[in-house]
Protein backbone atom coordinates (compact mmCIF):
# COMPACT_ATOMS: atom_id res chain seq x y z
CA UNK A 1 0.00 0.00 0.00
CA UNK A 2 2.85 2.37 0.84
CA UNK A 3 4.47 1.74 -2.54
CA UNK A 4 1.17 2.47 -4.28
CA UNK A 5 0.71 5.71 -2.34
CA UNK A 6 4.29 6.74 -3.11
CA UNK A 7 3.75 6.09 -6.84
CA UNK A 8 0.49 8.04 -6.85
CA UNK A 9 2.10 10.92 -4.97
CA UNK A 10 5.04 11.03 -7.39
CA UNK A 11 2.70 10.96 -10.38
CA UNK A 12 0.53 13.79 -9.07
CA UNK A 13 3.60 15.84 -8.10
CA UNK A 14 5.11 15.34 -11.58
CA UNK A 15 1.86 16.29 -13.33
CA UNK A 16 1.52 19.36 -11.10
CA UNK A 17 5.08 20.48 -11.79
CA UNK A 18 4.63 19.92 -15.54
CA UNK A 19 1.33 21.83 -15.56
CA UNK A 20 2.62 24.84 -13.63
CA UNK A 21 4.18 26.26 -16.80
CA UNK A 22 0.69 27.02 -18.09
CA UNK A 23 -0.35 28.80 -14.88
CA UNK A 24 0.63 32.49 -14.93
CA UNK A 25 0.61 32.79 -11.12
CA UNK A 26 3.20 30.22 -10.06
CA UNK A 27 6.41 28.49 -11.08
CA UNK A 28 8.79 25.89 -9.69
CA UNK A 29 12.40 27.07 -9.38
CA UNK A 30 15.13 25.06 -7.72
CA UNK A 31 12.52 22.56 -6.56
CA UNK A 32 10.42 25.17 -4.73
CA UNK A 33 7.08 26.78 -5.55
CA UNK A 34 7.30 30.53 -6.23
CA UNK A 35 4.40 32.91 -6.84
CA UNK A 36 4.90 35.17 -9.82
CA UNK A 37 2.62 37.95 -8.58
CA UNK A 38 1.85 39.07 -5.04
CA UNK A 39 -1.91 38.82 -5.60
CA UNK A 40 -3.78 35.96 -7.20
CA UNK A 41 -6.31 38.26 -8.85
CA UNK A 42 -5.98 41.62 -10.45
CA UNK A 43 -8.24 44.21 -8.83
CA UNK A 44 -9.89 46.76 -11.11
CA UNK A 45 -9.07 50.44 -10.53
CA UNK A 46 -12.75 51.24 -9.83
CA UNK A 47 -12.83 48.56 -7.12
CA UNK A 48 -9.71 50.07 -5.51
CA UNK A 49 -11.32 53.52 -5.59
CA UNK A 50 -14.51 52.16 -4.01
CA UNK A 51 -12.45 50.42 -1.33
CA UNK A 52 -10.68 53.70 -0.47
CA UNK A 53 -14.00 55.57 -0.26
CA UNK A 54 -15.49 52.94 2.05
CA UNK A 55 -12.38 52.81 4.25
CA UNK A 56 -12.29 56.59 4.68
CA UNK A 57 -15.93 56.71 5.78
CA UNK A 58 -15.88 53.83 8.26
CA UNK A 59 -14.89 54.61 11.84
CA UNK A 60 -11.81 52.91 13.24
CA UNK A 61 -12.78 50.25 15.75
CA UNK A 62 -10.44 48.45 18.12
CA UNK A 63 -10.85 44.69 17.78
CA UNK A 64 -11.17 44.10 21.52
CA UNK A 65 -14.02 46.64 21.68
CA UNK A 66 -15.70 44.93 18.74
CA UNK A 67 -15.46 41.54 20.46
CA UNK A 68 -16.87 43.04 23.65
CA UNK A 69 -19.81 44.55 21.81
CA UNK A 70 -20.46 41.34 19.93
CA UNK A 71 -20.37 39.41 23.21
CA UNK A 72 -22.87 41.84 24.73
CA UNK A 73 -25.27 41.02 21.88
CA UNK A 74 -25.09 37.24 21.94
CA UNK A 75 -22.89 36.13 24.85
CA UNK A 76 -20.61 33.97 22.72
CA UNK A 77 -17.64 34.22 25.09
CA UNK A 78 -19.72 32.63 27.85
CA UNK A 79 -20.23 29.62 25.59
CA UNK A 80 -16.47 29.02 25.45
CA UNK A 81 -15.22 26.97 28.37
CA UNK A 82 -12.20 24.85 29.28
CA UNK A 83 -12.20 21.32 27.92
CA UNK A 84 -13.45 18.50 30.11
CA UNK A 85 -15.08 20.79 32.63
CA UNK A 86 -11.75 21.90 34.10
CA UNK A 87 -11.67 25.12 36.06
CA UNK A 88 -10.11 28.13 34.32
CA UNK A 89 -6.64 29.17 35.50
CA UNK A 90 -7.55 32.83 35.48
CA UNK A 91 -10.30 34.86 37.10
CA UNK A 92 -10.49 36.96 33.92
CA UNK A 93 -11.33 34.15 31.52
CA UNK A 94 -13.25 36.47 29.18
CA UNK A 95 -10.18 38.68 28.69
CA UNK A 96 -7.95 35.66 28.05
CA UNK A 97 -10.42 34.21 25.54
CA UNK A 98 -10.71 37.53 23.72
CA UNK A 99 -6.92 37.80 23.54
CA UNK A 100 -6.69 34.23 22.22
CA UNK A 101 -9.31 34.96 19.55
CA UNK A 102 -7.48 38.12 18.47
CA UNK A 103 -4.12 36.34 18.41
CA UNK A 104 -5.50 33.49 16.34
CA UNK A 105 -7.47 35.75 13.99
CA UNK A 106 -4.47 38.02 13.40
CA UNK A 107 -2.12 35.02 13.08
CA UNK A 108 0.06 36.37 15.88
CA UNK A 109 0.44 33.38 18.13
CA UNK A 110 0.21 33.28 21.89
CA UNK A 111 3.76 34.49 22.61
CA UNK A 112 3.45 37.56 20.35
CA UNK A 113 0.05 38.37 21.84
CA UNK A 114 1.54 38.17 25.34
CA UNK A 115 4.20 40.73 24.42
CA UNK A 116 1.59 43.03 22.88
CA UNK A 117 -0.63 42.74 25.97
CA UNK A 118 2.31 43.53 28.28
CA UNK A 119 3.09 46.66 26.26
CA UNK A 120 -0.46 47.99 26.60
The C-alpha atoms of residue 65 and residue 30 are separated, in whole angstroms, by 47
The proportion of the chain whose per-residue pLDDT surpasses 70, expressed as a percent, equals: 88
Is the pTM higher than 0.85? The answer reads: no
The pLDDT tens digits of the residues spanning 37-75 come to: 665 577 889 999 999 999 999 988 888 888 889 999 998
Which of 41, 14, 38, 42 is CA-nearest to residue 28? 14
Q: Are 7 and 13 in contact (CB under 8 A)?
A: no
The pLDDT tens digits of the residues spanning 10-47 come to: 988 888 777 776 777 777 788 787 777 665 577 889 99
Side-chain half-sphere exposure of 7, counting CA atoms within 13 A: 4
Amino acid sequence: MLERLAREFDEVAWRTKRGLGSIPLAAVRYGRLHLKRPGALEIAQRVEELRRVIETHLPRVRIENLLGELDSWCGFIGALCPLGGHQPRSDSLEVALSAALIAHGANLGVAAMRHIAEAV
